[in-house]
Structure 1
Amino acid sequence: MRENSFTKNMRNKSNQELDYIIENKDKYTPEALQAVVWELEDRSLIEQGEIDLPEIAVIPTKETSIQNDALKKTTLNKENPFEDFEQPTLYSKKAILGFSLFFSTIFGVVLLMYNLKVMNKQKERTQVLVFGILYMILSYALLEVLPKIYFITLIFNFIGYGILVEYFWSKSLGKDLQHEKKSITKPLVISLLITVFFVLLIFVATTNGL
């Protein structure tokens, strides 16, 4: 029997709801879409084996666009009934890399913690926070005794990023997790403001010292 973790949920969906998921396929995970295809085949809405998952955009269901529009209207003022099947919107690994390298590892920690919050990984979120704090303390302690070269700071930041992604992301979210990319505009502005604030503090402290 063809089944995956979404099969049971899809069996409880109406034809209109299944067609709605297909119509908005870009928002859903491949596993959820596969379950929809199997259910449509079982209901004889499409021929079994007639279509492959990569061709899902052209699946010829027997439901009409009018029915789809009616379904959309009924869900406008209530919780999305399909949100469990949608791809989560998370900060990407590249975003974590950029913030870790150009600001510091703790900024990458914040982005990953947001992702874990979205995925309801509270225990893992705490673990990442503890790691971030300890790694920041260790890094600053070592940087105090090492030559004052920015390249060394980049190395520490890159190592921190590697631990965040290769260990914490892979362990908690899955190495090949598919997701929508969340905009980095807000965290970028906040990070720049924080950086400017600390630069000004250092400048003022240096000036007063003179």
Structure 2
Amino acid sequence: MPWMTKSSRSTTHSPLPMRQVYIAPPSGQSGYLSPASSSGQPGFDLCGVCRVCTCLHTGFLKTPTAAVKIIEFVIGLTCQFLLLRYGMKYGQDLGASYSIYLTCCSACLLTSTVLLFCYICSPATYNRVRPSLFEVIFNGVSCGLYLAASTFLATAVHFHLYYFYQTIPGFSAYPAMTAVYVMGYIVGIVHGIDATMALKFMRASSNSSNRF
């Protein structure tokens, strides 16, 4: 048997093949269940071969974050429509409460829409923005603004429009404005829930990064 040194033995064997292994993060830290669809690819499957809208990552729509963002968008858009359709004519009667609510609704709706669109299109944006302080502060401020503006508007609607509702048949501005401030309370609570979720996500991400 020929004598083989340690160096010669190492050269006779080929190196082991390297593999990339994906380690999933602990549950509850990401919140983005999957950046792709159920088939592992972004977009929508038409016939098993063709896919459309591959820039959209539909996995985000299955998460609780997507649910609260969609609720914020739908209710905010409805309030915006009712304010412009029924409240503009009586804006002077409602005073500052109408302007404050309209400003609050426009700002929160625009920001929520941009965040929802970015999260659907880019998982990287979600993983950077969602656990940041911006989401916590934005949703916390939106919660406070919606609740305060809804209370202010409810008082003005009761004192300035209720009389017309009792005396003018078919007066639709009062029910519409009542629906606006009621939905304002609802979306304010949803923003509060969203702020709590973002805070938990931020703390979980911070603890995870500190371990490494």
Give the TM-score range, shorter chain.
under 0.3
The alignment's TM-score, normalised by the length of structure 1, stands at 0.27
- Structure with higher Rg: it is 2
Tell me: higher relative CO, structure 1 or 2? Use CA pairs within 8 A at least 6 residues apart.
2
